[in-house]
A and B are shown apart, each in its own frame.
Chain A
Amino acid sequence: MKLRKIAVRNVFRNKTRSLLSGLAIGLTAAAFVFLFGLIEGMQQDMFYNITTYYTGEVRIRNEEYNKYEMVNPLHLNIKQYDEVIDIIKDVEGIALTSPRVSFPTAIYQEGENHNALGYGVDFSREEEYQELNRVLIEGEIPDKGEDKALIGRRLADDLGLSIGDSMTIMTQTQSFGINAITLEISGLLNYPIAQLNKMTFLAPIDRIQYFLRMDDAATEVLIKLDPGSVRKETAHKVSSILHSAGYHELAVQSLDSISQTYSMLLLARYIYYFIAFIFFLLASTVIINTMKMAIYERTKEIGTITALGMSSGEVVRLFLLEALFISIIAAFLGTLLGVGITYPMSKIGIDFTQAMEGVDFEIDPVVRPVLTAGSTILVFFYAVIISALASIGPSRKAAKIEPIEALRV
């Protein structure tokens, strides 16, 4: 009790010095609350984009398709995909399924070929899976059996196409021949990913199957899970059920083993934790310096209190408490500042459009940081603990001062 009082008094004895130490810790904490919010925002955005547009949380494909993906092996597909979905639909954790036929293609226009990426989709499922109402900015979703397509806004702009216009697409069929079909544009999509906007179109799966001579096959079935479901476990369950039903040619993978970008982002989080550790350590050097100066200035005082009977352990605790008080106040205010900066940014978003121009990344160029209680509390304790630990060295040094020598100074 007595020690605590002395420590509080000492913190306010040299306000400038305490303020400086606190400022270093507080600003670092604020910066990391914001940085972790930014990473969380990017990670959530990337997770949504990858699972919605590219891989799903769990993906079913023909095992051989992955091996020959570069040569567009449409014949290595999922035959009677409806049956496959029917078999797995009751697996615990599965929320939505999306059967797709994905194919690279060329859009033929006035003697020129423009590269594009086509998807044959079941719009009755895809409307919910892709939340098409979020990205459909004009026009309407085609019905089954219609030679119509939804096209990325940028792709339409590049080709000078608008709703009601036609485009002829040409590509390799399942049997490695070439085929072409004309589709009418029924709607424009504004995807959050630049690459999708300038390359992608969606058409009814039955028309694409006919065009590619694929009967009733799909190249993949993507699965989204209920919140809290474990991807690897669900993938394992789906795989077991399909194999017992005789679909031995199908491979079921979870996002973790498909997307390298997502795995890298997960890894990046740990790298940022390490960087934060280094930054807090650097901020702590200000505390170390402050304490060393205090010890130097207060040598006589240390001598007096030890001569009066304070043990060396109590001296260590006294200086530790001083450092702890500065750290707690600074980390709290810094975390609060970080929250104050991050929260409005999470509503407005930070526009990286220019910086990300030409970069193919599955991320919306307008990044919205996401505050999570976990990472905010983590930053607070991280700041307090590292700063307090950094003061152990100088505190121990203070405890080693001999009272007689100290009083001689």
Chain B
Amino acid sequence: MRKTIIYISLLMIFLFCISFNAAAVSPEEIIQKMEQNEVHDTAKVEGSMYIENRFGTKTTHFISWARGEDESLIEFLDGDEDGQKILKTPDTLYLYFPDADEIIRLQGAALRNSVMGSDFSYEDMTGGKGLLDDYSAELLGKEEIDGHSCWKIELTAKGRNVPYPKEIVWIDEDEYVTRKAEMYSRSDKLLKVMDVKDYITQEGKKFPGKMIMRDVLKKSSSTTFSIDDIELGVDIPNDFFSLQELTW
């Protein structure tokens, strides 16, 4: 009898601990911890995009500079897009083409166009700020992704100023990095799936180094985005993310 009481007491303590643990971590905190890992003050990245679709494959290399999530500049280094640049400012996305006299400001439906024929759209590059500014988060539970236990969190858009009205993200329970994400339309139709395949650890932070994006509306299409080299905390002049810099 005494043994039984001890077992029941231990079980209750165990269950209490589990529930306490689950309640202790809110989805907002998980998102914040993930962003602390994956968003950098400043960064310079060299990488590549390997695009595969029913018509063939191509690889494009790029170099990019970023300050937080609001500002970035990407320059394509080879292939058909050689010399083209994408500038993201807190408000707008601009495209620079070497053979065009004008800088193109992307807005409206044009943002839904594919970036260099990849599964990423220009819209995917917009957003900025933090996820929690645009989305409310709900913890759906835990699931295993590639052998890692992950928080499954549903993000629902607070307004219309976001590329996807709903996203589901799987965030590693131990390392607070994104393992997978699904993007949905307003009618709850799955639009894109992103799988993170490799990570980079630098200056105490762990973030995705290789991810595969699949636009499920496109037949047999996928884009592998890889970071070949990254420098965190680089000095970037204040006027770097400007139209003048874009044409320079």
Asked if A108 and B102 make an inter-chain contact with CB atoms under 8 angstroms apart, the answer reads: yes
Using Cβ atoms and an 8 Å threshold, which residues of chain B touch A108?
100, 102, 104
Tell me the minimal C-beta distance from B217 to chain A in angstroms: 12
Interface size for B (C-beta < 8 A) is 24
Contacts of A177 in B (CB 8 A): 60, 79-81, 84, 116-117
Rounded to whole Å, the gap between the CB of B67 and the closest CB of chain A is 25
Q: Which of B32-81 contact A (CB under 8 A)?
A: 51, 53, 55-56, 58, 60, 79-81
Does A174 belong to the interface (CB within 8 Å)?
A: yes
**Contact (A181, B58) CB under 8 Å given A111-B105, A175-B117, A176-B114:** no
Interface residues of A in 140-180 (CB under 8 A from B): 147, 166, 168, 170, 172-180
Interface membership of B95, Cβ < 8 A = yes
Contact with B along A71-96 (1 / 0, CB 8 A): 00101100000000000000000000
Q: Across the interface, do B99 and A176 meet the contact criterion of CB distance under 8 Å? A: no
Inter-chain residue pair count (beta carbon < 8 A): 65
What is the interface residue range for chain A against chain B?
A: 20 to 34
B224 to chain A, nearest CB (A): 16
Chain B residues contacting A175 (CB-CB under 8 Å) are: 58, 79-80, 117
Query: Contacts A75-B55, A176-B53, A176-B55: A181 and B100 contacting too (C-beta < 8 A)?
Result: yes
A254 to chain B, nearest CB (A): 28
- Complex CA–CA separation, A75 to B54 (angstroms): 12
Q: Does any Cβ of B come within 8 Å of A213's Cβ?
A: yes
Q: Could you say which of B84, B100, B117 contacts A176, with CB atoms under 8 Å apart?
A: B117
User: In whole Å, how far is B106's beta carbon from the nearest beta carbon of chain A?
Assistant: 9
Tell me, yes or no, whether B10 is within 8 Å of chain A by CB.
no
Asked if A173 and B97 make an inter-chain contact with CB atoms under 8 angstroms apart, the answer reads no
The residue in chain B whose Cβ has the minimal distance to the Cβ of A177 is: B116
Tell me how far the C-beta of A114 lies from the nearest C-beta in chain B, rounded to whole angstroms. 12
Interface residues of A in 96-130 (CB under 8 A from B): 106, 108, 111, 113
Q: How far is the CA of A176 from the CA of B55 in the complex (A)?
A: 10
Contacts of A380 in B (CB 8 A): none
State the CA gap A44–B51 with chains docked (Å): 48
Are B104 and A170 within 8 A (Cβ)? Answer: yes
Proximity bits, B155-177, A CB within 8 Å = 1, else 0:
00000000000000000000000
Query: Are B80 and A174 in contact (CB-based, < 8 A)?
Result: yes
A179 contacts B102, C-beta separation under 8 Å = no
Is A190 positioned at the interface, with any CB of B under 8 Å from its CB? no
Bound-complex Cα distance A178 to B99 (A) = 12
Q: Is B113 an interface residue (CB 8 A)?
A: yes
Is B9 at the interface (CB under 8 A from chain A)? no
User: A47 at interface (Cβ–Cβ under 8 A)?
Assistant: no
4 smallest beta-carbon distances between A and B, as pairs: A176-B117, A180-B100, A180-B97, A177-B116
Name B's A-contacting residues (CB within 8 A). Answer: 51, 53, 55-56, 58, 60, 79-81, 84, 95, 97, 99-102, 104-105, 107, 110, 113-114, 116-117
Footprint of B on A, CB under 8 Å? 73, 75-76, 106, 108, 111, 113, 147, 166, 168, 170, 172-182, 211, 213
